Each structure stands twice: as structure tokens, then as C-alpha cells.
Structure 1
């Protein structure tokens, strides 16, 4: 599914090679039958915004949006596990899944980096498997898309496209309510407190984190964090 490759590139840190491939990427979007016309137009507008720009300027804008807080982190498991040791085992499981499909990471990124995950999906021989894995990640991806929509960012088009491909999660209204009601991302203001309180990250918490587990058909089942469940329960009980 070449569309996953295109979405991966659009969501990655901007590079000159990506800007040079915009026309080819636009053709893939135009020919993707699974995408609605409004979604295609939004993706085309995002791609068009890169024409004639200064690369350093778009790189600076990208960093300001995705790398200066946690609300829009592109690391999937950060939204599920934070920096807890559970994230370490989830990383191991995801890495094992990559390797079992012959997908070797030639990157300094962690396995749960979303553009990397989309690149992996683009290389799967089974369309059904790719869409199933994407569906499992949609609670997190829908939250990212909702937050981008709240900010009026054109990058929301990427997450709308993923929803077109995989479908929205059952708790989508709860997710949108959360994105609309939460305050500013104050991660940078409290970064010292966060590092003091949280567990050490990926594979640094002792040998139990690295113990191999029985391989399962889908090692990256991604469930919403407790706040999703709490909000959903409140909405169901009218409170």
C-alpha cells in the first residue's frame, strides 16, 4: 500500500528528498481509491504548502509542532504508557514483529515512531494485516488527529486519511471531547519534575523488561489510556 509510504514521508521531519518527490506522492494520493475526496483535497493542500518553501523554515515549524511537548508526540506508546517500564516491553514486542517480517530498522528512531510504523505497514505483503495493525493504533492516532484539528494544523489531513483507511475507533467522540477540553501542553514547563517522577525509559529498568514473551499474532494492541475509559464512562452515565 503505497499510500502508507506517502503518509509516512509527509509526517516525517522534512527533508529535501521529500520535497523533490511531492509530485509522485500527489499521484499516489490521487489514485488511492480508499480515500474520500475531501480527504484527498486536504492531503493535496498539505503537499501544496511545501512548494516553493525554504527547507529550514518548514523544518523549524515541524520541530515546533511535534517536538516541543507530549500532546503531539509521534511516538505511539508514549500516549499509552508514558515512560513506564510497560513501554519498554511494548517496544520489544513491536521490534520483534518488525524483525519477524524481515523489516530491519535503519534508523535512530524508536520502534513506535509513527512514520517508521507507517513505513513498516507500507511493506507488508498482506493488505488485511496492515489495516488490522493500523486499526489497533487508531485510538492513539485519532487523539493526535483531534489535537491537530484543534490547532488548525494541516497535518490533521494525514490522520484523517488514516481514519479513512482503518475506520474510526468506537470511542471517537470521547477522544474529540478530550482534545477540545484539555489545556495547553505544559510539558516543557515541568520537564524537570517529569524526569524526577517517571521511570527510566526503554529497556533500562532491569532484566525483567527484556524477558522474551511468547509471540502473539498482534503484539501491538494499543488501548486508550485510563482517561479515555473514564471519559467514556462519564458520557455513558450522563456526567
Structure 2
């Protein structure tokens, strides 16, 4: 796949960030705008996958898609959208991993607000869309195995959200052998199960 130029990359991630959030008026009120943005992307997997989800959203309607979102992301651990969960579970090591995300956001000029952990895939996509391409790509690359596991879990559930996650992965280029081995290892071992409290981090707010 030909790498997307920065403008197209940011557009793709902006659309993905909206689609991976709860399907409220941000999605349905701006669906036609999102469709035009996707239509303007270069031909290829990224455009096709995002367009497929938007078509599903149009046909399913907001109530049905919202119910599916809750049943998938809120009730199935294997479909967790928080990237550090796959490698660290609910352990103390996950807290350190979350700090890496928090520092990446701050170095890019963004602050985190209350309400969401910084490793939610939609939030990282939004970070890239807002211009922190290098920082966001690094986070996604470092946690690619987790993103790949999320895609596989969504495909196993026959969820349309698998298309959006696959589109995000496609923007990173082909997975290396090391990435593939890491995904297989995480899939076979599963996340650690130590239960600890985690300080809440949240969706970013631009500080500039």
C-alpha cells in the first residue's frame, strides 16, 4: 500500500477518531461530512474500510449502532479499545505505560481532561489528526500488537468496527515479523490479571 501523505493521513485518523467513539450526534450529525472526507482519500484499503463502516452506520441507524457499540466495547473485554490493556492488563505496569501516553500528549502540546484514558484508540487517532503525527504514530507502532488483537477480536464478533481498526492499521503500513510474533504472543498469553487502581486520565483538550 502506498503511504498516505500527511494531509490524507490526518484526515483518515480524524474520521477514525469519530467513528471509534460512541455513535452520538458527532457521528450522525456530521455523517455526510465524514463521507465526503473519506471519498477524498486516495484509493486503497484505508478509504474502502472507512467507507464500509460509514455505509453500515447509515443502514443500521443510530439506535442500533449505539446498542452494538455498548455490547461490543463495554461488555466484551477481548474488544477493549484501550491499547495498553493487551500487554499489561490491570497491573501496576500498565500505569507506567499510561504515563508514556500522557507524556506524549503533553510533548505535543495537549493536556488531558477528565473522562477518558489516554490510550483509547480513538483518542490516539485524534492526537494524530490534530497534527501530532510523529507522537501518535510512535504510540500506535509501539502498541501495534494490541491494535492487531483488537481488530481480530472485532472480526471474530463480526463487528463493523473491525473495518475502522483495520483502516488505522493500514495507515501504519505492513506489520513486521516482530509485530506479528508479538500479536501471537499476546493472543496466546492474554493480559495479566492483577487488579490495581489506576489514576484516571482523560480525553485531551488542546492547550494551544
The separation in 2 between residues aligned to 1:58 and 1:136, in whole angstroms, is 30
Aligned residues: 188
Instruction: Pick one of 110, 117, 126 that aligns with 1:119.
Output: 126
The separation in 1 between residues aligned to 2:40 and 2:79, in whole angstroms, is 29
Consecutive unaligned residues of structure 2, counting only runs of 5 or more, are 1-9, 201-208
> How high is the TM-score relative to the length of structure 1?
0.68
1:225 maps to which residue? none
Q: Which stretch of structure 1 is more off in the superposition, 115-124 or 23-32?
A: 23-32
1:2 maps to which residue? 11
2:147 maps to which residue? 141
Q: Which stretch of structure 1 is more off in the superposition, 132-141 or 67-76?
A: 132-141
The separation in 1 between residues aligned to 2:61 and 2:49, in whole angstroms, is 21
> Larger relative CO (CA 8 A, sep 6+): 1 or 2?
2
1:100 and 2:96 matched: no
Q: Which stretch of structure 1 is more off in the superposition, 130-139 or 109-118?
A: 130-139
Consecutive unaligned residues of structure 1, counting only runs of 5 or more, are 186-193, 205-239
Answer yes or no: is the 8 Å Cα contact 1:91–1:202 preserved in 2: no
1:23 maps to which residue? 32
Runs of 4+ in structure 1 deviating by more than 4 angstroms, as ranges, are: 176-179
Q: Deviations over 1:133-174 (max 9, x none)?
A: 322221111111122222222211112212221022424377
Q: CA deviation at 1:107?
A: 4.5
1:85 and 2:92 matched: yes
Whichever of the two has the greater Rg, that structure is 1
Q: Residue 6 of structure 1 aligns to a residue in which SS?
A: helix
1:152 and 2:158 matched: yes
Q: CA deviation at 1:131?
A: 3.1
1:198 and 2:194 matched: yes
> How high is the TM-score relative to the length of structure 2?
0.77
Structure 1 pair 178–102 and aligned structure 2 pair: CA distance change class (3 A): closer
Q: Residue 32 of structure 1 aligns to a residue in which SS?
A: coil
